[in-house]
Chains A and B, each alone.
Chain A
Amino acid sequence: MPIKAMTQEWMDAYKAAIQADPEYKGIAKDWEGSVSLVVNPEPARNVPDPIYLFMDYWHGDVGDFVVCDKAKADSAKFVMTGDYARWKQVAYKELDATKALLQGKLKMRGDLPYVVRNIKTVNKVIDILGRVDTLWPDDNK
């Protein structure tokens, strides 16, 4: 049963999927720090307001995975912002997140060299995101 995207239930499922991944712990052993995703509103796609998601990663473990407010999102070590449609493209692997960042389709605040150094971790959590059975706001499921 697909879960509505960008809800707390969906965040819980995403966290569980990361924890269940047999490779994640090893790949992410050096990663320290929280990441927030800011989803810009697109009313035409059933996203009327901005959505803020906060995820805490620490040396292969995961902590808080919550839908949050702007202040909490801004407190993350890395803040990534983009239009809803772009995030959906990333989740479906139609658009690589690194490419989206370089092309300006996503924006990031945070230590870019740190992300580059840990690119395998970034790719892994995106790969897992794509496995969560998701109902997107503009899906007709």
Chain B
Amino acid sequence: MAGGYAGKFLRVNLAEGSWSDFTVGDDILRRFIGGSCLAAKLFLDRYPIDADPLSPENPLMIMTGPMVGSGFPGTSRFSVCAKSPQTGIWAESACGGTFGPDLKRAGYDGIVIEGRSHGPVTLTVDDSGVRLSDASTLWGRDIYEVTDELKARDKSAKVLVIGPAGENLARIAAIGNDKGHFSGRAGLGAVMGSKNLKAVVVRGTSAKAARADDEGFKLAMKAAMQEIKDSALAEGLHMMGSDANMDLGMVTGDVPVKNWTSGGEFDLAASLSGPTMREKYLTKAHACTNCPIACKRVVKVDDGPFATAEGPGPEYETCAVFGTMMMNPDLTAVIKANELCNRYGMDTISCGSAVALAMELYEKGEITEDRLGGLDLSWGNMDAVLELVRRMAYREGFGDILADGAVHAARRLGGDAMDAVVHVKGLEAPMHDPRGFHGMGLAYMMSNRGACHLQHFVLATEQGMASWPQLFDMKDDYEGTTSEGKAALVYNSENYGILANSLSICHYVAYSIRPETLRDAFNAITGFGFDFADILSTGMRDWTLKRGFNNLLGITSKDDILPKRAMTALEEGGAAGSVPDTALLLKEYYALRALDERGFPKAEMLDRLGLDELKSRLYQ
């Protein structure tokens, strides 16, 4: 048995009310590691990929990786995976917090949930075993309330909970872990809701995964702690959270403004920035289990129309989508919107993007106040935004149209609404403008869950947060608004970064430590003895497997595009006059990935990566 693994997975069938353990062989673990990569492998081997995402046939997979529970910094994470009800393709959403290590200590590397319960249930996994219990009294209540109640029953329990949005099958619904951590993207909360699964509770204390090399682990651990201590990036994240990006990103053209139509709103950024949050509303920094960075914000707004009790604060993405994207300069309103999304269980990026779309259409007169149920959705009117967010969670009135995200909303609204949505493959882009960073544009086009900044390390390498010339050929500094040389950077940054979600390690920790340190820790835990080439080829296998999954669902080169709005140059700001050269980027990238003209991995690449079964399905 490879080190780092609990050694078994839990399979729960909610329709039958049954469960059993299963194991995965070392050969599979070595090639697919864990987390979302192993989930994709298990999905392809065991489940029908053509099932409706909200049907009982779509499995919900909650997966850790071999580093989880080791105590190594940033390894509290887990990935929730399924076929996405928002995009219809592969979905994965990694989450920090507390759940992963406790699941491992309860003796499991992951949970695969099948079927649909007849009524609302809670799944509990602890040292004494597995239980399904009635959750009727929890159904209909928000994530904070239910989390508090479950923790009142057992204060040491770690919980995953859906809110009203997940119950109402909003295709942008998220899953919350202990209030402040979310598997947000691609609608996995709706998959959980479709199964009538309100919560998953874990409490593990006894199981301990074996380590291959204790001494080697101690050395890697010591190195990681020192590197994090020395890292200005880690220091900045601790002091300002991820919203440190707001000021810097506005200068470089990273921050989208007014539903991606404007740039260079420096005063707006200043009022929404990490330093401002720190000065005015931060009560403390919060860390996921075993993380010395503590990038999470805990905030409180004492008074004013958006007064908010002390609780989890917004990330950069939320500050942008409920701030600059809506022309809202009031950080207290962003904090309140974040709390509402947390309580209702909605992904803030998708929720805010859908609302920003509606604001633009309202300004153009394509949506009237009457249709909005009396809401004045003028730019920056946050009272109306907050009410609309509530209606989305409960699918009331116009909220029902937005509840499935901006792409579904634009389809229902018709006209030229889709021209105002920045998405790839149905997933709204996160708050990093591809016009300011062309490599990110390519990464959006090629990420396997749709437009994404977390399936790779492109954010770090292209924006200069990290430089790893020892791992792959790269320059000290890349200009954002150029496409030359970016395909190779994206390809390599994907092959390394995609492993964050199979090892289950935080991006910020991985950005802050040397690849040698991460490699050594991984090897000390697992005993796999990987060198850099092994690491990168494992990332290639991961990416190609998920690409193949999507190819089987109909994804082709025609889907690898940036939308019209993202290809329309801005007149001001750091990205002024710039759009990615998508033809160049895709041509070079396709060659590196060995994709054919259809966008399918070529047979020789599948052979090289040992993906025989995928090859037989793609080329049958």
Spell out A's residues near B (CB within 8 Å): 89, 94-96, 98-105, 107-108, 112-114, 116-117, 119-120, 123
Q: Are B275 and A107 in contact (CB under 8 A)?
A: no
Segment among B29-37, B174-182, B226-234, B611-619 that sits at the interface with chain A: B226-234
Q: How many A-B residue pairs have CB under 8 A?
A: 69
B278 close to A (CB within 8 Å): yes
Segment among B156-164, B243-251, B579-587 that sits at the interface with chain A: B243-251
Interface residue SS majority, chain A: helix
B239 close to A (CB within 8 Å): yes
Q: Are A96 and B477 in contact (CB under 8 A)?
A: yes
From A95, A114, A119, A123, contact of B477 by CB (8 A)? A95
Are A102 and B466 CB-contacts (below 8 A) given A113-B239, A116-B273, A117-B270? yes
Which residue of chain B is the closest to A101 with respect to CB atoms?
Answer: B232
B236 close to A (CB within 8 Å): yes
Q: Are B251 and A120 in contact (CB under 8 A)?
A: yes
Q: Are B464 and A117 in contact (CB under 8 A)?
A: no
Are A119 and B248 CB-contacts (below 8 A) given A96-B477, A102-B232, A112-B235? yes
B100 close to A (CB within 8 Å): no
Q: How far apart are the CA atoms of A120 and B232 in the complex, in Å?
A: 19
Which residue of chain A is the closest to B238 with respect to CB atoms?
Answer: A112
Q: Are A116 and B465 in contact (CB under 8 A)?
A: no
Q: How far apart are the CA atoms of A123 and B70 in the complex, in Å?
A: 41
Q: Are A112 and B239 in contact (CB under 8 A)?
A: yes
Q: Chain B residues near A98 (CB, 8 Å)?
A: 248, 464
Interface residue SS majority, chain B: helix
Q: How many residues of B contact A (CB 8 A)?
A: 27
Q: How far apart are the CA atoms of A114 and B276 in the complex, in Å?
A: 10
18 additional contacts, CB 8 Å, given A112-B240, A117-B270? A89-B476, A101-B232, A102-B231, A102-B232, A102-B236, A102-B464, A103-B464, A103-B467, A104-B230, A108-B232, A112-B235, A113-B274, A116-B236, A116-B273, A116-B274, A117-B247, A119-B248, A119-B251
- Shortest Cβ distance from residue B238 to the other chain A in the assembled complex, whole angstroms: 9
Q: Chain A residues near B240 (CB, 8 Å)?
A: 112-113, 116
Chain B positions 203-260 with a Cβ under 8 Å from a chain A Cβ: 230-233, 235-236, 239-240, 244, 247-248, 251
Which residue of chain A is the closest to B466 with respect to CB atoms?
Answer: A103
Which residue of chain B is the closest to A106 with respect to CB atoms?
Answer: B232
Q: Are B465 and A99 in contact (CB under 8 A)?
A: yes
Q: How far apart are the CA atoms of A107 and B229 in the complex, in Å?
A: 12
Q: Are A113 and B278 in contact (CB under 8 A)?
A: yes
12 A-B pairs with CB atoms under 8 Å apart are A99-B467, A99-B477, A102-B233, A102-B236, A102-B466, A103-B465, A113-B239, A116-B240, A116-B244, A116-B247, A117-B247, A117-B273
Q: Are B465 and A102 in contact (CB under 8 A)?
A: yes
Q: How far apart are the CA atoms of A43 and B232 in the complex, in Å?
A: 27
Q: Please name the 5 residue pairs, one residue from A and one from B, whose CB atoms are nearest each other, closest first.
A: A99-B464, A113-B275, A117-B275, A102-B233, A103-B467
B590 close to A (CB within 8 Å): no
- Shortest Cβ distance from residue A107 to the other chain B in the assembled complex, whole angstroms: 7
Q: Are A104 and B465 in contact (CB under 8 A)?
A: no
Spell out B's residues near A (CB within 8 Å): 230-233, 235-236, 239-240, 244, 247-248, 251, 266, 270, 273-276, 278-279, 463-467, 476-477
Are A123 and B251 CB-contacts (below 8 A) given A104-B231, A113-B239? yes
Q: How far apart are the CA atoms of A141 and B608 in the complex, in Å?
A: 52
Q: Chain B residues near A94 (CB, 8 Å)?
A: 476-477
Q: Chain B residues near A89 (CB, 8 Å)?
A: 476
- Shortest Cβ distance from residue A33 to the other chain B in the assembled complex, whole angstroms: 15
Q: How far apart are the CA atoms of A119 and B240 in the complex, in Å?
A: 14
Q: Chain A residues near B239 (CB, 8 Å)?
A: 112-113
Q: How far apart are the CA atoms of A64 and B267 in the complex, in Å?
A: 30
Q: Chain A residues near B232 (CB, 8 Å)?
A: 101-102, 104, 107-108, 112
Q: Chain A residues near B276 (CB, 8 Å)?
A: 117
- Shortest Cβ distance from residue B219 to the other chain A in the assembled complex, whole angstroms: 20
Q: Chain B residues near A101 (CB, 8 Å)?
A: 232
- Shortest Cβ distance from residue B452 to the other chain A in the assembled complex, whole angstroms: 22
Q: Are B476 and A95 in contact (CB under 8 A)?
A: yes
Q: Chain A residues near B477 (CB, 8 Å)?
A: 94-96, 99
Q: Chain A residues near B465 (CB, 8 Å)?
A: 99, 102-103
Which residue of chain B is the closest to A113 with respect to CB atoms?
Answer: B275
- Shortest Cβ distance from residue B297 to the other chain A in the assembled complex, whole angstroms: 13
The residue in B236, B276, B477 that gathers the most chain A C-beta atoms within 10 A of its C-beta is: B477
Q: How far apart are the CA atoms of A95 and B467 in the complex, in Å?
A: 12
- Shortest Cβ distance from residue A27 to the other chain B in the assembled complex, whole angstroms: 10
Which residue of chain A is the closest to B460 with respect to CB atoms?
Answer: A102
- Shortest Cβ distance from residue A58 to the other chain B in the assembled complex, whole angstroms: 20
Q: How far apart are the CA atoms of A103 and B467 in the complex, in Å?
A: 6
Q: Chain B residues near A112 (CB, 8 Å)?
A: 232, 235-236, 239-240
Which residue of chain B is the closest to A107 with respect to CB atoms?
Answer: B232
